[in-house]
Structure 1
Amino acid sequence: MSKQEFALVGDIGGTNARFALVEPGSTNLQHIEVLPCADYDNLDGAVLDYLERCQVTDVSEASIAFACPVHNDIVKMTNNHWVFSKKEVQSKLGLTSFKCINDFTAMALGVPHIAADQLIQVGGLEAEDDRVMSARARLVIGPGTGLGVSGLVKTRANWVPLSTEGGHVSFAPTTDLEISVLKVLMERFDRVSVERILCGDGLVNLYQSLAQVTSRESKYHKPSEITDAALKGEDELAEQTLAMFCKIFGQVAGDAALTIGALGGVYVCGGIIPRFTDFFKSSGFREAFENKGRMRGYLESIPVFVVMEAYTGLLGAAEALANSEV
């Protein structure tokens, strides 16, 4: 295969590197592979191994998303050992174009390309036709390793991602129990942002804080243990924790939707919520999302979608290739 036939797209997290090939101007992902980051010294080694696996000699364009800051030439992964210079990698791989974008920017850019059967709607009005919806701002938000928050708006030519640090806004409790949890968390952190609760480690923070507030034993120390115990009905504290997690997420998502005017819908990404969609749909998320006093009517109309697509970041990286706004 010649390098004119394909461009390389990637989505690099702390554990895995996801790669695919796309034809110029397309977001149709081909030859998807997921490689463990621990198996490679750095990005260029992983890319070269992937291309060899695909029997592609080289590529001239690449767009890769990273779960870390990417605004400087030196990129240092937050949760794995990779550190590299963008200029050096571009030179080593012989790329004429190399776009490095943040992973949640890619997540946002991928949203317009998700198939309808990969979206689970949680409340709100039925989505209108694409032309109407695409003219309105969208909110892309999701708990995972952290809490990612991005906006998405459509110009005449391109989708434009609004990169934000919305996961670091202050936690605003709305009940006596949430106030008690906040007080416990304030003993550990100088400032309590919503990301201290709405992410994997945040779920553990919430579980331990609730245990302290209600004088109960804290049995679990991993997010997966808490989630599993809650879904199996094996631990009342775990169930209460997961329910409160969903409710607080609803409060935060509703605030963010108001802030950017997300009448085009809210898209829930990340690695946590898709693991328990039935629990999520029956939780207090939607009521908390809409419970904004005088603005309830505004929020009631906004559809929320849980994104089940496993490769949204790769779709976004593909979108970024020809997107002049990125």
Structure 2
Amino acid sequence: MKLGLVGDIGGTNARFALWRDERLEAVRVLATADFPTPEQAIRAYLDEIGQAVAEVDAVCLACAGPVRGDEFRFTNNHWRLNRPDFCRQLGLSELLLINDFSAMALGMTRVLPEELVEVCQGSVDPERPRLVIGPGTGLGVGTLLPLGDDLWRALPGEGGHVDLPIGSLREAELWRHLHGIQGHVSAENILSGSGLLTLYRASCALDGRETQLSSPAEVTDAALAGDAFAVQVLEQFCCWLGRVAGNNVLTLGARGGVYIAGGMVPRFADFFLVSGFVRCFREKGFMSRYFDDIPVWLVRAEYPGLLGAGVALQQAREGRQAGLA
């Protein structure tokens, strides 16, 4: 395989790396605001690492949002991309665009054991789907299907926008408050960075408290410092993540295991591991025993999206198109 370039592009940052011999090299993180176009960002990246553009023959970019056709508009930044123009400007023979959480899912096939923290013990069923779910800027949900011979298909979807489930009277009260403000309440409305702040404000409104915290980081920091009300809010966040993850497991039959990914949960990993996540993950009435042997891991890998983009590019270059989605 010739030299490839992979990217994992979010709203604020674009992560780039070379993909050679099935490994990442020369990872760099650039601010999307510093560049008018992705082409210019890639040229700046290659200049920084001293790599000639002409030596790169294929690019795979993992992008937030549905990927269809030759035109792509990035969800959370100002970049736009036209596939033929992109290839012409960079002299490429190949550009592969995949959904960012499809890349995240494929990245799970390459994470190292030491990059996974066990949340629930269990046994992997190698023939069944695996669920990848991660709160960050939004809520990403992906499905990983094993196809045999170390070939994987990552199914893209918009599972973060399903209805927020209700499993307790407190959750019903919170949902009713949110619905009165915004109408439809999706899982992502709570299970994301901005969602944690929304949950904090809704909790304050229900309990007649004045809001004192103004960012998701402040809510998390206050909870980790022992503030009782912030602890309650972060605990509710973990419980709702458990309910949404459990619903997805039942829908997909994801007995291959569950990966908790994304940028948020690793920041409060110790809190998460003793939270109500596991209880709410399994709390499914007469189907609760279904979860007894399903493993769950918290992902602490640094660049799983880049790894997944590399896997997608590798499978495409080897003609194993079934692995791409």
TM over 0.5: yes
Equivalent residue for 1:37?
A: 32
Equivalent residue for 2:257?
A: 265
Alignment of 1:243-258 (within 5 A): 243-258=235-250
1:88 and 2:85 correspond = yes
RMSD over aligned Cα atoms: 1.3
Rounded to whole Å, the distance in 1 between the matches of 2:17 and 2:175 is 43
Give yes or no for contact 2:132–2:141 (8 Å, CA) kept in 1.
Answer: yes
Rounded to whole Å, the distance in 2 between the matches of 1:215 and 1:281 is 30
Equivalent residue for 2:116?
A: 119
1:51 and 2:43 correspond = no
Q: Secondary structure at the match of 1:14?
A: coil
1:301 and 2:293 correspond = yes
- Aligned letter for 1:55? G
- Aligned letter for 1:244? Q
Q: Secondary structure at the match of 2:231?
A: helix
Identical counterparts, % of pairs: 43
Task: Give the gaps of 5 or more residues in structure 1.
Answer: none
How far 1:156 moved relative to its partner?
A: 2.7
Rounded to whole Å, the distance in 2 between the matches of 1:156 and 1:301 is 22
Which piece of structure 1 moves more, 50-59 or 239-248?
Answer: 50-59
Rounded to whole Å, the distance in 1 between the matches of 2:32 and 2:58 is 21
Q: Secondary structure at the match of 1:216?
A: coil
Give yes or no for contact 2:165–2:240 (8 Å, CA) kept in 1.
Answer: no
Rounded to whole Å, the distance in 1 between the matches of 2:198 and 2:31 is 28
Match of 1:281 among 273, 285, 298: 273
Equivalent residue for 2:318?
A: none
Match of 1:8 among 5, 8, 15: 5
- Aligned letter for 2:204? A
Equivalent residue for 2:100?
A: 103
Alignment of 1:140-155 (within 5 A): 140-155=132-147
Equivalent residue for 2:164?
A: 171
How far 1:5 moved relative to its partner?
A: 4.4
How far 1:210 moved relative to its partner?
A: 0.8
1:74 and 2:71 correspond = yes
The CA deviation string for residues 266-319 of structure 1, in whole angstroms up to 9 with x for no partner, is: 001111001111000000000111111211221121111011001000000000
Equivalent residue for 1:192?
A: 185
1:291 and 2:288 correspond = no
Aligned pair in 2 of structure 1 residues 198, 7: CA closer, same or farther (>3 Å)? same
Q: Secondary structure at the match of 1:275?
A: helix
Task: Give the gaps of 5 or more residues in structure 2.
Answer: 316-320
Q: Secondary structure at the match of 2:128?
A: coil
Equivalent residue for 1:317?
A: 309
How far 1:68 moved relative to its partner?
A: 2.9
Rounded to whole Å, the distance in 1 between the matches of 2:148 and 2:294 is 23
Rounded to whole Å, the distance in 1 between the matches of 2:205 and 2:58 is 53
Give yes or no for contact 2:2–2:57 (8 Å, CA) kept in 1.
Answer: no
Q: Secondary structure at the match of 2:145?
A: strand
Runs of 4+ with >3 A deviation:
none
Equivalent residue for 1:236?
A: 228
TM-score (norm: length of structure 1): 0.93
Equivalent residue for 1:221?
A: 214
